[in-house]
Amino acid sequence: MRWLPRSKAVENAVVARQMRGFFKGLPTGTRACPRQVAEAYGAHLFHRRRRRLVEEKRFAASRFHVGIGVGSEDFARLTKRAVLVSDTLLLSHNGKGAAHRISRLSRHDAWLPQTEEEERSLVLPMGSSTEEHLHMLCPDLDGLGDWLLRAEPLMRAGSAWYLPTYSVSEERDFHGPAGDPNDYPADHVYGSRPVVHSGVPRLLDFVATGRRVVAQSDTPAVTSRIVLPVIEDLELPFLEGIPLETFGAITVGEFDAYRAFRSRLRMEVAGIDTALGAEEVQRALTLIGLRIEDEVRGMRAQLNQVRRKRAVAVTGAVVGTVSASLVAVYGPALQPALAAVAGGAAGGLWGAFQAGADNSPRALRENAWYYVWTLSRAASVA
């Protein structure tokens, strides 16, 4: 079964616009190299002139249900679970990892004035070149790039995005006659030095604007009692084995059913009394998992019933078509005989088509459990 992302499936318009612009401008050849994809993504979200995150104010003003700073590499599992309760999922390494150079921001050359004698003797001029480079802090660019490609359907819909952590380095090199660096003027610095621009927002900066942030690993943050149980404790077998790209395509393709399930799951988890002990909380989560499994079985039964009805309706339609053709050729005198043989199918052509329309699975597609059933089926064939 193939799921096609719907252009109208948008969770966060600000995020969706930026993510669609990124993927639209991503060269086809770049997709073969996840590391280059991650570098291109970092460059896309950085405003070169203002030296800040693009649309920073709009990003901060957008409604995010959960932002997660992670130290682990398990982005795929985290994404599939957090999206089930998130308006928009914001992931970030929050400054962890090495600084990877992703682009050059500027270059400036300055030459020292020469005397007339130096110009006549063709002595090479001395000077310096200053370059600023943009770096993205990340523990694994290849892993990040792979996640970006696999999470593309969710990102295009504004349901998920990644917030890079940036630094800007300044490198200054001198040019001139070969010799000891000590021969250069004392008031000039030889080599390079890093310059970090703190104006680029980090994950925790979004907390100040009212976002809910969930900590993973050792990242300090504000926890959400709705999100953490779903990420860490709730048994969700319908997610096991399903690739992230398939999960994203189904979520976007069945957006109405996904939103209905998200609301149900939020209410279920929010209904757990936080004053309960650990054992009681785990029991409550187990009951939620069992109810989900029961609803999925119910959805499967409904769809099987619809298919059986549709099969009967289609059979009746075929018989009715043949019977109507025979009546047209041999006259109304044949109709009583056909009615006796086919159980009245000769006059039931319209009824057969009507039955097919009344029993279509399309009516079930907005049901919350249709979304979970679809994920469960995809996981079973993955």
Q: What is the pLDDT of residue 220?
A: 43
Q: What is the pLDDT of residue 67?
A: 80
Name the one residue in this structure whose structure tokens are 């939620």. Answer: 288
Q: What is the pLDDT of residue 196?
A: 62
Q: What is the pLDDT of residue 193?
A: 57
Q: What is the pLDDT of residue 350?
A: 38
Q: Which of 145, 169, 153, 338 is nearest to 255 (CA)?
A: 153
Report the relative pairing of strands 127-138 and 165-175 from DSSP bridges: antiparallel
Report whether 18 contacts 158 (CB < 8 A): no
Q: What is the pLDDT of residue 275?
A: 65
pLDDT tens string, the chain, 382 residues long: the values are 344 444 568 999 999 999 999 999 999 899 999 999 999 999 999 987 777 888 888 887 777 778 887 765 688 998 999 999 888 898 888 888 888 998 888 777 777 776 676 666 766 677 777 788 889 999 999 999 999 999 999 999 999 999 998 888 877 776 665 444 445 444 444 455 556 665 677 776 666 555 566 755 544 444 567 788 888 888 888 898 899 999 999 999 999 999 999 999 988 888 887 667 778 888 888 888 888 888 888 877 777 776 656 554 444 444 444 445 444 544 555 455 445 544 444 444 434 434 444 455 566 777 888 888 888 888 777 6
Q: Is the pTM of this model over 0.95?
A: no
